[in-house]
Structure 1
Amino acid sequence: MPAPPEPPAEPPALWNRNFRLFFVARAVAVFGEGMVPVAFAAGLLGAGHPGSTVGYALGGWTAAFALFVLFGGVLADRFTARRMMILADLLRLPGAAVLAVSFALGSPPLWAVYTLSLLSGMGAALFQPGVASTIPRIAPDVQRANAVLRVAEALMTMAGPAAAGLLVALWDAGAAFAVNGVTFAVSALCLALMRIAPIPSDSLRRDSLGAELVGGWREFRARSWLWGVIAIWTVYGLTVAGPMVPLTASLVTEDHGSAAYGVLMAVNGAGSAVGGLLALRLRPRTPLAAGAVALLGLPVNLALLGLGAPVPLLAAGQFVGGAAFAFWLVMWSTAVQTHVPQEALNRMHAYDVAGSLLMMGVGRTLSGPVAAAVGTEQVLFAGAGIAVLVVGALLAVRPIRTLPRL
């Protein structure tokens, strides 16, 4: 008798040792990052400084991140992503400790706060590119890994500000910065315990930093689906994603109070977690097309805000918007991590982050003056219309629409 057919092989387990360590590192890092805005606001405003100082501190972080993230991608390719992420955590740890002690003892001078915020942004720029390239090297199922991490990040994004608010209420802003420093230490320890096989030396570049930046740009331009999405996304960041956060905060706070805004942000985080869970279950053949269709949930959120809908409807819009954006992010991250060669992935991710963040920053900066000139509701309605056009543009470009799942 012929031998019975072999049962299909079980897929490799996602929760291997490296992924468990990386999961903890990312979860505590996002938790700590979520504490920083609350800690800065409480510490600076409590010391009698104007609200603009909080914006300057956070804006300095963003500017440093955007300026140095491209170099972070090149350095991660040269010295390995894991080493650069550990170094970035260790560089940010002393700054968090200094802020913790300074705010616990009183009010640090503003120049010190701004300088430490800049250094923290530089550290984040060294850290971020390695996230994208590490996932495909430690996870047998890249989409599932991205989805699991997205769910954890959404939950930690909600938990971080809440924990910071509690620490500030019980002690002071220094306590929040102290916990933020502990998260850097835990992240560095987890990353140090990971064991990842090195990339073959013949695939590593050893050119100058400038030459490697140029080489990364050539790799970026060689993939039409990649630069096509980024080009479209710059418009999205400038006109939709950038203005959405500050305008939502101002409109909801003025109409319904700060407590309602906090609840809506928590609902948005819950939606993000659900979007990640959906990405765990759904495996579309063309991930970018599926992610683009999901983005149609965001204009619903913007339209409800512009119409002045009651809080329950606004909560529904925030939930749908959070789920839509999280699903898109998982599809996008998975596409990049599976279609871009490992040796170029750090730089590709750096170009992606730099382009997106810069335009979002410009959008946030211009949102106030534009809203003052034409009206907040009009800006939100325009953003909703542009968001629909962006989805149409993503689906109209054939290399984006037809990119297969690997």
Structure 2
Amino acid sequence: MAGQALWSRNFTLFFLARAVAALGDAMLPVALAAGLLQHGHGAGAVGLAMASTAGSFAALVVFGGVLADRFDARRLMIGADLVRLVTQALAAVLFFTGQVVLWQICVIGAVNGVAAAVFQPGVAGTVPRLATDVQGANGAIGTAEAGAQLLGPAFAGVLVAFASPGGVFAAHAATYGVGALCLVLLRLPPLPRRKNAAGRVVAAFLADLAEGWREFRSRTWMWGVILIWCLMMVASWGPTIPLVAAEVVREHGAGSYGLVNSAFGAGTVIGGLVAFRLRPRRMLRAGGIAIAAFACFPAAVGAGLDVPAMAAGAVVAGAGRAFWAVMWATSVQTQVPASVLNRIHAYEVAGSLAMVPVGQSLAGPAAELFGAGQVLLAAGAATLVVSAALLGVPAIRNLPRADRPAVRGGPAAPAPAAAPPARPGGPHE
């Protein structure tokens, strides 16, 4: 049975590691926004703090991909989790003691971004090694992450209201400890590693970078999505996160922001469950249609709707984003050979997130110039433009699905033409 094959000991441990980490990450925006606002900072400071993490991550994730392909990705991921355990514990001390200085928070965020750059590339290469049903695995992980998005903000709101933002940072640090433990217990068959002659490590590293770039450049559907996604990050996702946080916390309180963010999480649960079951023949086409729903989140907040209406918009937006995320992740993991997957994943992550710090950094100045509501409405409109652009590129909308990872030198294995759509608990294809 598909479910039995999916839920092996290894996959269960990895699933738990990702779910717990997602819970902590979902709590962080509430703590960051509430904590900085409590200490006299505005939306611009929240954007800068978020941009410090996103910027260092985007700048270094390509190098993390080379490391993950050349060394033991699992050990790199464990080390990255342990680093973030320490940094978030330090942030908790700063907020508990009230010694909150913006540049210190930004430095902590930058270090977290470096650790994430080492961690993230290994995720793409690990999933196909844990499960033969790659879309099912991504759907399960995505649903767990969505559940964390649902519970995390509400839990963070309670901690902020009855304790302090420092309690959220302490809990976030603990999630990295749990994630590291799960990865320590993970047992994967070793992959062949290339050996370098002494003194040629740098040359081999640069050669790996160049090979990864050639593989990335050769896939029109991939770099086409990334180019379009840059617009999404600058004009929609980047400004939406800090401005929604600042606006909702300022106008309705941290508890309401937790509620709205939890509604977004509920939507991502729905989107993840749909992605777990639905097996479209053109995955990126389906995802491109779904991502248009994200426009409902910034538009609802920008229009100044009440909390229930903002929550409804967040549900719709979360469902669309989650469905797109599974379609995209599965396409990458099944269309790219395992030998270069971590590097390819690093390039696509770097490209897709490179503009996030730009959008986050510009959010505050744009809000002061035009008003936060107008910027958020523009973010909703930009999302619709992104959806149309994805569907307008033939290489993206016509990419056929593949249910098994690609082999080196050959195409990805297509889904059997006569096979019925797989479903949770159904037989493997």
TM-score normalised by length of structure 1 = 0.86
- Residue number among 117, 137, 149 corresponding to 1:125 in the alignment: 117
2:112 aligned counterpart, secondary structure: helix
Q: Equivalent residue for 2:149?
A: 157
Alpha-carbon distance between aligned partners in 2 of 1:94 and 1:377, rounded to the nearest angstrom: 37
For the 8 Å contact 2:17–2:180, the answer to whether it is kept is: yes
Alpha-carbon distance between aligned partners in 2 of 1:253 and 1:172, rounded to the nearest angstrom: 15
Deviations 1:340-367 (A, max 9, x none): 1112111112122222222122123223
2:323 aligned counterpart, secondary structure: helix
Q: Equivalent residue for 2:356?
A: 360
For the 8 Å contact 1:279–1:330, the answer to whether it is kept is: yes
Q: Equivalent residue for 1:388?
A: 384
1:295 aligned counterpart, secondary structure: helix
1:296 aligned counterpart, secondary structure: helix
Matched, 1:228 2:224: yes
TM-superposed deviation, 1:281 = 1.2
- Residue number among 253, 272, 283 corresponding to 1:287 in the alignment: 283
For the 8 Å contact 1:68–1:125, the answer to whether it is kept is: yes
Q: Equivalent residue for 1:262?
A: 258
Worse-superposed segment, 318-327 or 99-108? 99-108
Alpha-carbon distance between aligned partners in 1 of 2:172 and 2:371, rounded to the nearest angstrom: 38
Worse-superposed segment, 193-202 or 249-258? 249-258
Q: Equivalent residue for 1:3?
A: none
TM-superposed deviation, 1:213 = 1.8
Alpha-carbon distance between aligned partners in 1 of 2:23 and 2:386, rounded to the nearest angstrom: 31
For the 8 Å contact 1:275–1:327, the answer to whether it is kept is: yes
Worse-superposed segment, 257-266 or 268-277? 257-266
Alpha-carbon distance between aligned partners in 1 of 2:321 and 2:195, rounded to the nearest angstrom: 34
The letter of the residue matching 1:245 is I
For the 8 Å contact 1:394–1:400, the answer to whether it is kept is: yes
Matched, 1:64 2:56: yes
TM-superposed deviation, 1:330 = 0.5
State the Cα RMSD in Å: 3.0
Q: Equivalent residue for 1:92?
A: 84
Per the alignment, do residues 181 and 125 of structure 1 end up closer, same or farther by CA in structure 2, a change over 3 Å counting?
Answer: same
Matched, 1:329 2:325: yes
Alpha-carbon distance between aligned partners in 2 of 1:300 and 1:55, rounded to the nearest angstrom: 21
For the 8 Å contact 1:203–1:343, the answer to whether it is kept is: no
For the 8 Å contact 2:151–2:262, the answer to whether it is kept is: no
Alpha-carbon distance between aligned partners in 1 of 2:376 and 2:133, rounded to the nearest angstrom: 38
TM-superposed deviation, 1:144 = 1.1
TM-superposed deviation, 1:74 = 1.1
Residues 3-402 of structure 1: pairs in structure 2 closer than 5 A: 13-40=5-32, 48=39, 50-51=41-42, 55-101=47-93, 103-104=95-96, 107=99, 112-201=104-193, 207-249=203-245, 252=248, 259-402=255-398
Per the alignment, do residues 360 and 105 of structure 1 end up closer, same or farther by CA in structure 2, a change over 3 Å counting?
Answer: closer
1:195 aligned counterpart, secondary structure: coil
Alpha-carbon distance between aligned partners in 2 of 1:183 and 1:36, rounded to the nearest angstrom: 12
Give aligned pairs, total.
397
Q: Equivalent residue for 1:4?
A: none
Per the alignment, do residues 238 and 59 of structure 1 end up closer, same or farther by CA in structure 2, a change over 3 Å counting?
Answer: closer
TM-superposed deviation, 1:241 = 2.0
1:283 aligned counterpart, secondary structure: coil
Structure 1 alignment gaps of length 5 or more: 1-8
The letter of the residue matching 2:69 is D
The letter of the residue matching 2:155 is A
